[in-house]
Amino acid sequence: MSVVRSLLALCLLLLAAAAGFLGLGAHWVHTAATTSGPLVAIMAPVPSDEDVVAAIKETLVSEVTSRIPPAAAAVPGASEALLRAITVGVDATVTDERFTTAWTDTVDLSRERFVADLGSFADDGVEVPTLWLDLTPFADLGRTVIYEQTAPALHRLLDQIPWPEEVTVALGRPEDRTARLAAEGLSVASSWPLFYGAAALLTALGLAVGSRRGRWVALIGAAVVSLVVLLAGWTVVGRIRPADAGTLAGAVKQALLSGTAESLAEFAAPAWFVVIGALIVGVLGLTVAGLRSERRAS
What's the pLDDT tens digit per position in 193-220? 999 999 999 999 999 988 888 889 999 9
| Per-residue pLDDT reduced to its tens digit, 58-74 | 888 888 888 887 776 66
Residue 182 included in any domain: no
Whether 235 and 206 map to the same domain: the answer is: yes
Among 89, 111, 93, which residue's Cα sits nearest to residue 40? 111
What is the C-alpha separation between 221 and 279, in angstroms, rounded? Answer: 8
> In sequence order, which ranges of the chain are alpha helices (DSSP H)?
2-34, 37-43, 50-65, 70-74, 78-93, 99-124, 136-149, 152-159, 176-189, 192-209, 214-238, 248-267, 269-297
Whether 155 and 249 map to the same domain: the answer is: no
Whether 134 and 45 map to the same domain: the answer is: yes
pLDDT for 261 beyond 80: no
| Per-residue pLDDT reduced to its tens digit, 103-130 | 999 999 999 999 999 888 888 777 888 8
| 3-class secondary-structure state, position 132 | strand
Which residue, 149, 177, 205, sits at the end of a domain?
177
Sign (positive/negative) of CA torsion 93, 96, 100, 101? negative
Domain count, the chain: 2
Whether 166 and 77 map to the same domain: the answer is: yes
Whether 128 and 49 map to the same domain: the answer is: yes
Per the prediction, the chain carries an average pLDDT of 85
Among 221, 206, 198, which residue's Cα sits nearest to residue 8? 206
Residue 185 included in any domain: no
- pLDDT band at residue 48, thresholds of 50, 70 and 90? confident
pLDDT value of position 1? 46
Question: 132: which residues sit within 8 A by CB, 6+ positions away?
Answer: 110, 113, 114, 168, 169, 170, 171
pLDDT value of position 253? 72
Provide the 10 A C-beta neighbour count for residue 130: 14
Residue 86 included in any domain: yes
β partners of residue 169: 133
Whether 46 and 15 map to the same domain: the answer is: no
Whether 32 and 58 map to the same domain: the answer is: no
Residue 229 included in any domain: yes
Q: For the ranges 10-24, 52-66, 246-260, which has the lowest average pLDDT? A: 246-260
Provide the 10 A C-beta neighbour count for residue 118: 23
Which residue, 177, 209, 244, sits at the end of a domain?
177
Residue 148 included in any domain: yes
What is the C-alpha separation between 89 and 163, in angstroms, rounded? Answer: 14
Whether 155 and 87 map to the same domain: the answer is: yes
Whether 291 and 196 map to the same domain: the answer is: yes
Residue 242 included in any domain: yes
What is the C-alpha separation between 282 and 218, in angstroms, rounded? Answer: 8
pLDDT value of position 247? 64
What is the C-alpha separation between 81 and 173, in angstroms, rounded? Answer: 39
Instruction: Give residue 98's domain range.
Output: 39-177
What is the C-alpha separation between 272 and 223, in angstroms, rounded? Answer: 10
Residue 186 included in any domain: no
What is the C-alpha separation between 64 and 87, in angstroms, rounded? Answer: 10
DSSP state of 75: S
96-to-48, 155, 169, 228 alpha-carbon distances in Å? 13, 20, 22, 47
Residue 169, φ and ψ in degrees, nearest 5 = -125, 125
Whether 29 and 54 map to the same domain: the answer is: no
- On the 0-12 / 13-18 / 19+ scale of CB atoms within 10 A, 229 is middle
